[in-house]
Structure 1
Amino acid sequence: MPWTAPAQAVRRHFAQRLAASGFQADAAQSFALDALADWLETLPGGRRGWLRRSAGGFYLWGGVGRGKSFVMDCFFQGVPLAAKRRVHFHAFLQELQVRLLAHAGQPDPLARVAAELAGEVRLLCFDEFHVHDIGDAILLGRLLEALLRARVGVVVTSNYAPASLCPNPLHHERFKPFIRVLERHMRIVELDGGVDYRSRGGRDWGQYRWPESPQSLLDWRRELGLGVPAAPLQVNRLSLAPLGQDARSLWLDFAALFPVPSSTRDYLWLCERFERIAISGLPCLDRHSPDVLQRFLNFVDIAYDAGTELLLSSWASLDELCRERPHEDFARTRSRLAQLRPQALGDHGMLNCDRPAAGR
């Protein structure tokens, strides 16, 4: 089989995907894909050595629903390389923790993990890169710096420009050295345009029901076909009391999962264990603390990435639920929730976001 230049292979795959889907890429998406292809051309060392002398990365950022994941998908599938991985932010963080534990007690465990990864892949692609926890931020910053120095090709998509990563003002200064590493070693391209393509008949991955009432919850139990579990569900160190459960489905109350100190590790476990997760008692989100909001946003990200069917029930419509912008990551979550099938259960009159969910 004749050898195909990596950039040529990526452009050809992009054209094939567009033709197969009937999708028309806009100018910004075409520019981003071309920029990725051009970046590939700076990495080879000739026909037999491409990606062996990689000295940088590529950072693609832009607003919600601009097609970053589509461009990444076309790029990743089109690159003619076996030693490549595409990872999602939360799952990779958990993998990183497991790898670090394997080197506990040894000098510089992170450097050892970076060396392992460099021996496994020549191209590592991160989807939806964002950091808010300063511990995660510094850990990932050091790892990315080590991977770039090890000449691993690193591609990142994000809603944030590098300078806006780790936006918490209490921690941002500590993360600045790693921002400078990204800016120095990665080609940075903004996917601009301002159009949210997810809002134009995007992916259908679940349901959003409102207004919630005791009767609607009784009806929902019958529709879901879930019985009341006899025992709590143990998720890592977290004990949950499901409202319903079977082999493939789980029903929880919002208050059972998010106001408590749950973690992304718990959400990954749930999405690996269950194909369908229902959450009722969803409150207006501006009434909760930033920690609770961050947990809910993380859960939505993980369920979306895992392909888990998500069923939500609230007293409020989606517009009322998201009536404020309570968190810097909320635009992405709002876009993903908008892809759930809406099911209005009737007029609900004046909304009181503080009232308890009765009748469960």
Structure 2
Amino acid sequence: MLTAACTWLNFMGVNLKELYSNFIKNKGLENDPGQFELVNILDQYKPSLETRNQPLIKRIFSKGSPNKEEKKKGIYIYGDVGRGKSMIMDLFYNSLNLKNKQRIHFHQFMLDFHNALHKYREEIQSISNSDDQVIMLAKQIAKKATVICLDELQVNNIADAMIVDRLFTAIIGEGTFIVITSNRHPEELFKDGLQRERFVPFIDLIKQNFLIFHLNNFKDYRLDKLTCLDKLFFSPLNQETKDRINEIIGTITGNKKLERKELFIEDNKILKLERTYGNIAVFTFNELCLMPLGAIDYFKIAQNFNTLVIEDIPELTNDNHNEALRFITLIDCLYENHTRLICSAANPIEKMYNGTRNRFEFGRTISRLTEMQSAEYMMAPQKP
């Protein structure tokens, strides 16, 4: 039996510190003290997590020893965009020798939960005992995953704010370990939200049960990828341009799958975005300018994403007057928020508009689009 246990131990998860070192070496990245400190912390949790559901003999002979942090129910990692939070969480997730684990964007996780809760209530035709229903679904989630990695926690609607405390209290109560990434310290979450007092218990839950780690390095690795590009505006609209845009999207997302996301605006208005990844969003021109959107919508997009890709911008003339006006407003909002922009268009920047009705107004747009391609604009920080 001892031999069998030792053989099993040979198949424990990969050492995360070695995995991280090899990764940055292969990618040509620099050693980062903040990242390495986080990797070291996560690596200390791996042995106990990988043996948590194993027979006693395997837990006895597992490598590593308990440490004072193992009483924590999870890790909350926060820091500015592009600091490597998602990268390190993915390395940790992939290194875990576990079958019952889940890695998902926080927004998608909550959408799935609300859909499951709605379906369950329809089946039983009741909304009573809502706490019991949340706990029941939380137990189902915990049963499927010993470890859950949630990327980009950001609460921007009252439906999530009112339920996350009950949901996550129940999940960690079942023994599931949760890793969360976010751009904000827990105290900054849902700061100006409606009925925020109902959200505060979730903040307290994180502060009491999670190790809170500030990834405080100062290098934006996504920005590195953008500044290495020779240009960010591509024309004309042909297969070569399409392939180049897709290549750039793959580069700045790490070839990750783009996800759907709902963006809360105000007065219960929600924008449904089809292609996002973290702080990057991809749109067609028609999605942004053919639809009846305005400055408040564009500002909300600019505030939630630091990089936008806009594809298939047509030639703008008097025939698409309204679309041209919306495009002017869109660029103004992105420029004011210092959002980075990558475009594909029918014509070069200086020939984008060939109408007469908005020629004066579009002069400013051409000027701003030109400046937004510069290295100075790309390197400047996004406005809060």
- Of 156, 166, 170, the residue aligned with 2:190 is 166
Tell whether the 8 Å contact from 2:17 to 2:36 is kept in structure 1 after alignment.
no
Deviates more, 1:107-116 or 1:61-70: 107-116
Tell whether the 8 Å contact from 1:54 to 1:152 is kept in structure 2 after alignment.
no
Corresponding position: 1:12 with 2:18: yes
Partners of 2:136 and 2:227 lie apart in 1 by 39
- Structure 1: state its 5+ residue gaps: 211-215, 226-257, 326-330, 354-360
Partners of 1:26 and 1:17 lie apart in 2 by 12
Corresponding position: 1:118 with 2:142: yes
Shift of residue 323 of structure 1?
Answer: 3.7
User: CA 1:112–1:297 in structure 2 vs 1: closer, same or farther (change >3 Å)?
Assistant: farther
Shift of residue 346 of structure 1?
Answer: 1.5
Shift of residue 349 of structure 1?
Answer: 2.9
Partners of 2:204 and 2:9 lie apart in 1 by 37
Corresponding position: 1:200 with 2:224: yes
Deviation digits for residues 112-166 of structure 1 (CA, Å, limit 9, x no counterpart)? 1101011111110001111021221222232112111111010000001111111
Shift of residue 99 of structure 1?
Answer: 1.2
Matches within 5 A, 1:27-176: 27-41=33-47, 43=49, 48-49=58-59, 56-104=73-121, 105=126, 107=129, 108-168=132-192, 170-176=194-200
Partners of 1:190 and 1:37 lie apart in 2 by 17
Partners of 1:10 and 1:179 lie apart in 2 by 29
Look up the match of 2:295.
Answer: 288
Tell whether the 8 Å contact from 2:35 to 2:215 is kept in structure 1 after alignment.
yes
Shift of residue 102 of structure 1?
Answer: 3.0
Deviation digits for residues 276-297 of structure 1 (CA, Å, limit 9, x no counterpart)? 85125659xxx723x6644676
Tell whether the 8 Å contact from 2:76 to 2:211 is kept in structure 1 after alignment.
yes
1:37 maps to amino acid: D
- Structure 2: state its 5+ residue gaps: 1-6, 63-69, 243-264, 277-281, 314-323, 352-361, 368-384
User: CA 1:86–1:208 in structure 2 vs 1: closer, same or farther (change >3 Å)?
Assistant: same
Partners of 2:79 and 2:98 lie apart in 1 by 27
User: CA 1:111–1:259 in structure 2 vs 1: closer, same or farther (change >3 Å)?
Assistant: closer
Shift of residue 204 of structure 1?
Answer: 10
User: CA 1:62–1:312 in structure 2 vs 1: closer, same or farther (change >3 Å)?
Assistant: farther
What CA RMSD, in Å, does the superposition of the two structures yield over aligned residues? 4.4
Look up the match of 2:363.
Answer: 349
Q: What TM-score comes out, normalization by structure 2 length?
A: 0.61
Q: RCO (CA 8 Å, sep 6+): is it higher in 1 or 2?
A: 1
Shift of residue 188 of structure 1?
Answer: 0.6
What is the DSSP-based 3-state SS (H/G/I as helix, E as strand, rest coil) of the residue aligned with 2:150?
strand
1:48 maps to amino acid: K
What is the DSSP-based 3-state SS (H/G/I as helix, E as strand, rest coil) of the residue aligned with 1:155?
strand
Shift of residue 351 of structure 1?
Answer: 4.2
Deviates more, 1:89-98 or 1:27-36: 89-98
User: CA 1:350–1:176 in structure 2 vs 1: closer, same or farther (change >3 Å)?
Assistant: same
Look up the match of 1:247.
Answer: none
Shift of residue 176 of structure 1?
Answer: 1.2
What is the DSSP-based 3-state SS (H/G/I as helix, E as strand, rest coil) of the residue aligned with 1:324?
helix
Give the number of aligned pairs.
286
User: CA 1:204–1:145 in structure 2 vs 1: closer, same or farther (change >3 Å)?
Assistant: farther
Shift of residue 223 of structure 1?
Answer: 9.4
Higher helix share: 2
Look up the match of 1:229.
Answer: none
1:29 maps to amino acid: Q
Deviates more, 1:342-351 or 1:132-141: 342-351
Corresponding position: 1:324 with 2:336: yes
Deviation digits for residues 44-102 of structure 1 (CA, Å, limit 9, x no counterpart)? 5577358xx98500101000111111111111111111111100122222211221123
